[in-house]
Amino acid sequence: MLIDINIDLPGPSSTRRQLPPQLVQFGTEELVLIELQGALEVEGNKDGQLVGKLRVDPNTKKPTMMIGHHLLEGKLVNLAKPLAVLQKHDSTPGAGEEDEAAMAVEDGYSPRTTMQARSWDIIAMVKKKMVFSKRPMPVVGTGSGKTSNAAPLSRIGSKAG
């Protein structure tokens, strides 16, 4: 089985939308990795739902995240080895034609024909990440109306192990 990985890094003419400027320093212009101790667990449909508010202090550059009544403090961590972020190649019409052409070439004897060919794109090269490594601190009374409405929807799962 062969899986192609193509490089699709954003160039100067990129049409992808950029992140807010204060977040760019934690990743690339389009993408940032946020590491959490534990995981976000949600029940039901989560499409477009609010998780929390991310704030970057303009002076100290410290990120903080409010999730419901929990405050998380984060920091910037440089990665020892850069990470390439891969995204599954979506089946846009153009991609579909490519796949068909590949199948035609493979016609006849080939160990590959039975397998489904898929491809991935390298969409970003990340050298930094935002890490929230501490336990969330409960905050009482400071949550604005908007945030507390969404509070029951998401919570920080406890750290595994």
| Contacts to other proteins by CB under 8 A | 1-7, 9, 11, 15-20, 22-23, 27, 30-40, 42, 46-58, 65, 81-88, 90, 105-106, 108-112, 120, 122, 125, 129, 133, 159-161
**Closest to other proteins by CB, 56 or 71:** 56
**Closest to other proteins by CB, 97 or 127:** 127
**Amino acid at the residue 57:** D
CB of 73 to other proteins, least distance (A): 15
CB of 99 to other proteins, least distance (A): 15
**Closest to other proteins by CB, 81 or 141:** 81
CB of 93 to other proteins, least distance (A): 17
CB of 138 to other proteins, least distance (A): 19
Q: What is the CA radius of gyration of the chain?
A: 21
CB of 140 to other proteins, least distance (A): 20
State how far the alpha carbon of 48 is from the alpha carbons of 20, 51, 86, 106, 109, in Å.
18, 9, 22, 41, 46
With CA atoms as reference, report the closest residue to 44 among 141, 152, 161. Answer: 152
Question: Whole-angstrom Cα distance, residue 116 to residue 119?
Answer: 10
Question: Whole-angstrom Cα distance, residue 30 to residue 91?
Answer: 22
**Closest to other proteins by CB, 76 or 86:** 86
Backbone φ, ψ for residue 89 (5° rounding): -70, 120
